[in-house]
Amino acid sequence: MFKKYDYLIVGAGLFGATFAFEANKKGKKCLVIDRRTHIGGNVYCESVEGINVHKYGAHIFHTSNKKIWEYVNQFTEFNRYTNSPIANYNGEIYNLPFNMNTFNKLWGVTTPQEAMDKINEQKARYGIEQPKNLEEQAISLVGTDIYEKLIKGYTEKQWGRSATELPSFIIKRLPVRFTYDNNYFNDKYQGIPEGGYNVIIEKMLEGTVVKLNTDFFKNRDELEAQTEKIVFTGMIDEFYNYQFGKLEYRSLNFENEVIDSENYQGNAVVNFTDRETPYTRVIEHKHFEFGTQDKTVITREYPAEWSPGDEPYYPINNDENNKLFKKYKELADNEGNVIFGGRLADYKYYDMHHVIAHALHTVTKYI
Ligand code: FAD
Ligand code: UDP
């Protein structure tokens, strides 16, 4: 039977939009749907007071992959923003990621050797051979002082679990450097797209039919009847009606405030690393684009327990969830007409550049 579309793409985020852009170039007809009221998924920005507000959390593009950097630059230029967050621990300010500026402020040390000695001494006192969880990994990398002031409180708020119950790879996302360098990422390329992320997604979806406010599960029969194949970028456990049980996610609540001041906190990202402050970060969006507006917009980011219906911002990749995911993955691998991709369907803590790379690989594999 003749079908109207070659691909139904569920999710207008970076995975879905990249897939659609490439498929379109290859002459495939795509329908992109999203249950939200806008395209872009979690990279969507909303203009408030002339400032691009990252509605679903601060997004800084970074990659070491030249091909991916050139790929995103075809849609718009990127500015020279370099992420250098600061940590506020009960009013004390420290530079992130953990580097000589952090070590100097904390211990008064001035040379890399002194800093390493301090860390090794604290690590030895703790006696960790092979780190088994996030706490042990963090102490092995930076010692107990930094763990207590800059990691433990933030991590336990962010994930709603003890750092001993979390996988160590999460803390390995952050560089530890024995140079005076506050760049949060080690990647070769970094920046914020000029005009915001919407410009990229809009260009990717030019010429593709997009239907918003459309939930795949509520319109499944009608949607499936129109398409040869499906690209699914939502939650894999939801796709299979949670038949093996629910995967766990961590959610967030964002509280935005417009402030009648040009500059509220002097930096785009300030992390609150004590346990008591209920939010993890305050984002001042204008600084991502060196904005000169009269007002400023800030967002407080509150971590939250996830339950069905909430936004699943982070997969919780502990052993139990990874085991459950594998069962769903086995089903997914045996689907003839459904392709899974993106952060939710792959249940992985992907950054944007990973998602684009995977989408490009998927297009090459299937089309
Ligand atoms: P998403 O953007 O989640 O898109 C999936 C889309 O599918 C959503 O729009 C959703 O509404 C839709 N959908 C789901 N189910 C259905 C359904 N049943 N029917 C219809 N539509 C459906 N990465 C970086 O590189 N740098 C950063 O600084 C960075 N910061 C981040 C900060 C936060 C707080 C978070 C949560 C993530 C951050 N990321 C960052 C990661 C980045 O957001 C993701 O890698 C990327 O946006 C994932 O794209 P995606 O298309 O896989 O998923
Ligand atoms: N982290 C921390 N203190 C900080 C910043 C990060 O302990 O000031 C830990 C925390 O466990 C967090 C992880 O490092 O979940 C990864 O941080 P990243 O900034 O990469 O998180 P994301 O931006 O993805 O939320």
Cα 145 to middle of ligand 1, angstroms = 34
Q: Which atom of ligand 1 is nearest to the CA of 60?
A: 28
Residue 165 is a catalytic residue: no
Which contacts qualify for 356-359: CB closer than 8 Å, 24 or more apart? 356/14, 356/15, 356/18, 356/68, 356/71, 356/72, 357/65, 357/68, 358/15, 359/14, 359/15, 359/18, 359/19, 359/22
Taking alpha carbons only, the member of 340, 319, 318 closest to residue 329 is: 340
Q: Which atom of ligand 1 is nearest to the CA of 239?
A: 18
Residue 220 is a catalytic residue: no
| pLDDT at res. 121 | 96
CA torsion through residues 314, 300, 269, 70, sign? positive
Overall average pLDDT of the 169-176 stretch: 96
**Going by CATH, does the domain composed of 5-79+190-246+317-366 fall within 1.10.3720.10?**
no
Residue 281 is a catalytic residue: yes
User: What ligand is nearest to the CA atom of residue 237?
Assistant: 1
Catalytic residue among 22, 238, 301, 346: 301
What are residue 284's phi and psi, to 5 degrees?
-110, 100
Token reading at 78: 């990127």
Instruction: Please write the tens of the pLDDT for every residue from 231-265.
Output: 999 999 999 999 999 999 999 999 999 999 999 99
Instruction: Please write the tens of the pLDDT for every residue from 307-326.
Output: 999 999 999 999 999 999 99
CA torsion through residues 218, 37, 18, 351, sign? negative
Residue 36 is a catalytic residue: no
Amino acid type, 248: E
Cα 113 to middle of ligand 1, angstroms = 41
Protein residue with least CA distance to atom 18, ligand 1: 216
User: What ligand is nearest to the CA atom of residue 301?
Assistant: 1
Instruction: Please write the tens of the pLDDT for every residue from 84-141.
Output: 999 999 999 999 999 999 999 999 999 999 999 999 999 999 888 899 999 999 999 9
| Helix, strand, or coil (residue 126) | helix
User: What ligand is nearest to the CA atom of residue 204?
Assistant: 1
- The residue whose CB lies within 8 Å of the most ligand 1 atoms, and thus the one to mutate among 233, 279, 313, is 233
Residues linked to residue 272 through DSSP beta bridges, in sequence order: 88
List of residues 6+ apart from 131 with CB closer than 8 A: 137, 139, 140, 168
Percent of the chain with pLDDT over 90: 98
Residue 80 is a catalytic residue: no
Instruction: Please write the tens of the pLDDT for every residue from 268-294.
Output: 999 999 999 999 999 999 999 999 999
| pLDDT at res. 2 | 86
Intervals of CATH 3.40.50.720 along the chain: 5-79+190-246+317-366
